[in-house]
């Protein structure tokens, strides 16, 4: 094994299922984290941006060569590497590479850092009254939210929608993990002073910045003054 792969110090973020198993409010398994520092590693970064359903996401792609030990050999794609303050989520499990003499030389990993850099736009959610036993409850109190993006029409095709399009006046992209008041199908969504009904689609991702609620907003003729 090579004694030094590079000048970088990285922190491994190793995630494991919680014991006992548990789910978060979106039905995803809860993971515990432990961190391990590794020195004499190599970490190389490239950059780029992407657009995801109207939200602008800045990304950095990286590849690393890590010292061979029990921690690095066991790295799965659920783990992450922190380097110079940025957390890179692994896109592949760690792969051990060998030299010409058959000795383990390093563990190769690939990762991605992402950050939402959208300007944002404020929308207002009004929880619609629900029906039960023939009674319609009153609507809830207005909740202002900052959307990652607001686009005219139905933009689902931009992130892989394959079904028939819905006649929507706006596509509103909300932050899934930071949403304190979840929006539901049929709620009122006030977008650019128009009262719309919401149709919600959840978009999951390994990367927090790419987890989104994509809400199709259908205008129902009301306005705000």
* Domains with residue ranges and CATH for the chain: 8-116 (2.40.10), 121-223 (2.40.10)
The per-residue pLDDT for 8 is 95
Side-chain half-sphere CA neighbours of 161 within 13 A:
17
Q: Is the pTM of this model over 0.75?
A: no
Highest mean pLDDT among 10-14, 128-132, 161-165, 188-192: 10-14
Render pLDDT for 58-75 as a digit per residue (tens, 0 to 9): 788 999 999 999 999 999
In this predicted structure, which of 3-12, 67-76, 77-86 has the lowest mean pLDDT? 3-12
Q: Are 126 and 139 in contact, with CB atoms under 8 Å apart? A: yes
Render pLDDT for 192-223 as a digit per residue (tens, 0 to 9): 888 888 888 776 665 555 667 778 788 765 44
The dihedral region occupied by 177, where left means phi > 0, alpha psi between -120 and 50, and beta the remainder, is alpha
Render pLDDT for 145-177 as a digit per residue (tens, 0 to 9): 888 888 777 655 444 455 555 567 888 888 776
Average pLDDT score, the chain: 81
Q: Are 43 and 62 in contact, with CB atoms under 8 Å apart? A: yes
């Amino acid at each position: 094994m090579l004694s030094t792969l590079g000048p970088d110090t990285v922190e491994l973020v190793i995630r494991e299922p919680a014991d006992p198993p548990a789910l978060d409010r979106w039905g995803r398994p809860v993971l515990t984290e432990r961190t391990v520092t590794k020195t004499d590693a190599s970490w190389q970064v490239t950059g780029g941006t992407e657009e995801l359903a109207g939200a602008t996401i800045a990304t950095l792609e990286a590849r690393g060569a890590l010292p061979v030990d029990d921690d690095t050999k066991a790295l799965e794609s659920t783990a992450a590497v922190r380097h110079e303050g940025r957390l890179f989520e692994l896109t592949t499990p760690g792969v051990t590479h060998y030299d010409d003499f058959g000795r383990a030389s390093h563990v190769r990993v690939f990762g991605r850092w992402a950050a939402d850099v959208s300007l944002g736009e404020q929308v207002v959610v009004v929880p619609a009254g629900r029906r039960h036993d023939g009674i319609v409850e009153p609507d809830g109190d207005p909740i202002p939210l900052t959307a990652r993006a607001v686009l005219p029409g139905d933009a689902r095709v931009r992130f892989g929608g394959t079904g028939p399009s819905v006649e929507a006046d706006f596509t509103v992209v909300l932050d899934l993990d930071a949403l304190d008041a979840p929006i539901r199908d049929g709620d009122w969504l006030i977008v650019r002073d128009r009262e719309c009904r919401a149709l919600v689609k959840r978009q999951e991702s390994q990367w927090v910045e790419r987890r989104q609620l994509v809400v199709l907003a259908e205008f129902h003729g009301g306005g705000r003054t």
